[in-house]
A and B are shown apart, each in its own frame.
Chain A
Amino acid sequence: MSRNLRITNNKFIDQTSRISFKFDGKTLYGFKGDTLASALLANDIHLIGRSFKYHRPRGIMTCGSEEPNAIVQAGNDASMTEPNTRATEIELYEGLEASSQNCWPSVNFDIGAINNFFSPLIPAAFYYKTFMWPANFWKLYEYFIRKSAGLGKSPTQPDKDIYDHRYLHCDVLVVGGGISGIIAAKTAAKNNLNTVLIDDKNNLGGTTIFQQNECFKINNSYSNEWLKKEIETLNSIKNLTIKTRTTLAAYHSYNYLLARENLTDHLDLNERKDKIRQRLWKIRAKKVIIATGAMERPLIFNNNDRPGVILSYSIKKYIDYFGVKCGQKISLFTNNDSAYETAISLSNSGVSVNSVVDIRDRTNSLIVQQAEKLGIKIHWKSAVVNTNGYKKITSIEIMKLSDDDTTVVGKKIKQECDCLGISGGWTPRVHLFTQSGGKLKFRDEDNVFLPDKSELDQISIGSCNGDFELDSVVKNSVISTNKFLKVNNNDYENLKINSSNEINKKNIWLLPSNKPLGKTKPFLDFQNDSTANDVKLALREGFKSIEHVKRYTTTGMATDQGKLSNMHALGIIAETADVKMGELGTTTFRPPYTPLTFGAIVGRNVGEFFDITRRTPMHDWHAKHNAEFENVGQWKRAWYYPIENESIHEAVQRESKAARDSAGILDASTLGKIDIQGSDASEFLNRVYTNAWSKLEIGKCRYGLMLNEDGMVYDDGVTTRLGENHYIMTTTTGGAANVLGKLEDYLQTEWPELDVYLTSVTDHYATVSICGPNSKKIISKVIPDLNLSDKEFPHMSFRNALIDNIKCRVMRISFTGEHSYEINIQSSYGKSLWEKCFEAGKEFDITPYGTETMHLLRAEKGFIIAGQDTDGTMTPVDLQMDWIISKKKYDFIGKRSLYRSDTIRDDRKQLVGLLTDDPNVVLEEGAQIVLETKKQPIEMLGHVTSSYFSPNLNKSIALAVVKNGKKLKGQKMFVPMKNKTINVTITDTVFLDKENKRLNA
């Protein structure tokens, strides 16, 4: 059977190279150059899938990216399978395996098709209306709805393919390689403009390249032959880059465009290894010429969705380009001249055309005359009112239109056919134009939206600009391109163009039927299964805005974004609501034009390249010593160092005890470090910190708290005065970049008069922190020359030192409450310094500890962590850190906000300590704190911010924020958990060594 459907002598398909592929498990054959759709049609397979809602049989309807029905699952490998791909866009390759979607157990026998019989019960918004109540049944409903909905299946394994991104800059980008695009690209390139021409197909030439008809000639050649010669000359033009198989996905402002180039999808599977599958081009074009052509519209009538109902011009492409007959007895139904081109092509290829049904009154344009000459029968002023057949069309029913076109009259004629071509006119592809922010205008005469105003340097030419006749397409493309590029290309000056021009135009959005509206199925959105009746229902229910009707009926919301159906939906709404279409406006076309793969979107940014990983110079040592790492921003920080099979809890308890009993060593290199220099450095610090800095002696360190202008704590850290006009500030690990940004902002915009320079030196220094009662002994071994006496080197001071002749900065500061030192050394020496300290500490059992132990130790002392105990709503007063707010300073960032009516409220949440009545119970961080457990609703008074089991105190401790907590010391409260309620008491925030004796121990 398949042989009958293929005609020979075809220029585009290589009938010598046969390709085998599988569809729904059955092995079939096609040829190099076929799409999956053309190969299936050549095998007489029309039934491709089941519709989304009613599970009606559906077949191939188009030949391009607008295909709503023939969407398949391509590939059966768990990592490479791709759902929802359009059979009309898949180039056939050896080994292709594709299958139907949305059907079970098979496309031929689909259980879900029962929905079709119940369809009168499933109108628009059926799911919204039906599954509203009882509310707690939703979980059950959801299970079934999810099971029955959906299209293809996503891959279950990671994508093995390679994708990448590239930038492209050009003077002129031409989108679309049809006749207009080729004229424009050639004009631009020949005038020394760096030009790029892209097209989504594998060949240039658009629809003209297969237009071999007496009625359409340029310089006495068939239009396809003329264009072929034009394309052949392109190769010799400098400055012109041609990219085929490249789909323009998005058009953003400032002529920034994204295009996806398919590099291997058309190759045989064994030729693809190690090659990049798809490339996303990020294009910045000085000028853009859109020549994306037009899409044929369907017609909206009863049962217009059966397999075998195909857009008329697609039938023409299948016969003229692919050499495939869509049927043996084809009927055509149209409201315009283009169906006659199809009829003539079919007739010339020996396919019998039953008749053309035309809703117009008799017209005698050249192309119609030619069709009549070939003996093609035409039913004037008639309409198809129904189609028959289930898995494929078997016949149509034709009736005469009444004089006013509102109804059908006379006798019903039944006509046997195996394919029906439909044509409802043409819709310019204005998607890219509107994506770029362009405004459309409506042309009443043939009901099209056309590009109107744009802020960008761009034009639309050819049929996407509303020129549908060969002569106007060519002439206007030449004129517009010359004007737009300000050049004078006279290559096309004296072209002699023959064209058959349409004389009679007519359009009926929803064709009349011999049945009442409720009894018909005139499909609008084929992919989402919404009918003209659904749209009318929405209007009856009071929806007015096109955007609301769209969402309510889901018309235009499928993966094809309603490319085929939006115009009819608009038309029917306008008619029913009695508004002008131009005033109704359109829904918004959003990028991407056709779906992009996730692979193309992420490119190479996968796996280890997903984000930058920052490692400290000591990282390898930590890894070697069995450290578990924690992500802090982009940093990998040692979290804890389990010995043998220790759990995190056991390791942290051991590390915490060791740090207080003898000595602990911590890698603090990730803390942000900002070098501050300039004659106004002290004044600058006065303005950005809450406390005073002018009197800080050189060689001393001070803890500072930084607020936002709204008075809330932003970041904290120790800043050291290295010289008269030189400080080094430390910030939290995660806050470093933001703090620097904020400081720069104030310096550049509010206080440009200050002489201050900021430099990020976070990565320049490695920081080794050693704490514990034996830390002093260890440091004295590492730096013997340094006088470590409390008098010479007291707490909160800094000394320059040499270690093996390498300069380093030693700060005596403490985040644990222990006697503690931090040594900062040039990063490249970080690891050797760490090893040296570790070696020196061995006799004291020095214990490396990670961030978890650091957090526990500081919590014992009640030190906050900005971002854990604060959340952007805590002032220093809320933190009970009033002591750090300078009373003398006239101003600092956030000062005025500290006495706004909101910040001086008594019942703000304030930081407190929390002890559980049972010292073995450790609270969950984030747990809510309440006073009253009986009366509902329970008032939430606060929550736990930090919670640990302290091995040094041998009890559980926690920090929390509680409403009016400052005044509640000693108050018993409750932490209600899922299975129990925990009794707690509010305490001071300092749990250990309130007198700070350990600092000098």
Chain B
Amino acid sequence: MKKVLLVLFVLTILLTGVTQAQDTVQLVIESWRNDDLTIWEDTILPVFEAQYPNIDVVFSPTAPTEYNAALNAKLEGGTAGDLITCRPFDVSLGLFDAGYLASLNDLAGMENFGDVAKSAWITDDGSDVFCVPMASVIHGFIYNADIFAELGLEEPTTVSEFYAVLDAIKASGMYTPLVMGTNDQWEAATMGYQNIGPNYWKGEEGRLGLIDGTAKYNEGGFLQAFEALAAWQPYLGDGYQAQTYADSQNAFTLGLGAIYPAGSWDISVFRANADFELGAFKPPVPDGQEDCYISDHTDIAMGMNAGTEHPEEAQTFLTWMTSPEFATLYSNALPGFFSLSNAQIEIDDPIAAEFVGWRNECASTIRSSYQILSRGEPNNETDLWAASANVLNLAQTPQEAADTVQSGLEQWYEPQMGS
């Protein structure tokens, strides 16, 4: 008798479990932002789930460098999540063209975004938009204000002031002047080349020049940016060749280095872990140059898996993501990811507010390799990674590195061919 009761008891529990599972729909978010897991789970998703108790959203990130490959495999195998975090431009466009991302033209709330915000997730003819823009990231430099105070240094604004500061830190012998490694390659390209580059290639002017074939990587501003990057080499820490991105973050957080070439997404990491005052300055301008340019890269958006079993719930979530409520929540939970929404948002974090304030002082551009230029083989972005790391590892001169990148582009990109 006891056994029968036990069996009945277990059955009831199982059955109630099943019926409950039928009431709530589970949505899975694919993302490369594994740094943000706790923020999504603890801060953002509970707000949504409180409003829509029948939808349970799970944030399921993959390592950033694995994301595209893993996502492609999952989409092909039909096992990908319902909501797909979108890389900007060609990668997501490829997914849309292959039929993996649903068109979001009719999504309620899309009117909250301007054309610039949507530009990274729209077909070339502008007929279909396929991701809800979430945020852009801005490049600059974060410094350890305690070290600056100790050594009596001030924020540099020009390139020569920048080197004077670096020399002073190096002369002190106590701290690594620039905390950056070349092991992961992308760090050198993204935090180095694309960080300081826009000042040399005049932002959008240079970037669009590459696309229409009037500018080249191995001359003018794009070459000067490689030369400027090469000049960083003496200021990097011992063994920077084997230093990973995580090593750099740790070294700066531990107070071993003074200046960290940053992406604004690093702010939240340092806020959580660094026990010293942080400061920030924008990429220094070449001496005598009036205008400044910053990399304000439309970086992240959210789309819907065309094969999802719960399209209505997924659209409900995406519409919620277009709301000013989400924009405020997201921008403040993740200082350094700046919402692309038209809504006015107050940013509490002073460093993040300073980064976003540069938008008013300087002209914005996006990373040079993302739009159109990463469609062919060799991939322009991957080439820039290798070139930037090689320049800093003294494996190539700036001219050689620039020539390699340019010849890669000339192999397949029509407007750059035969010139």
B and A form one assembly: no
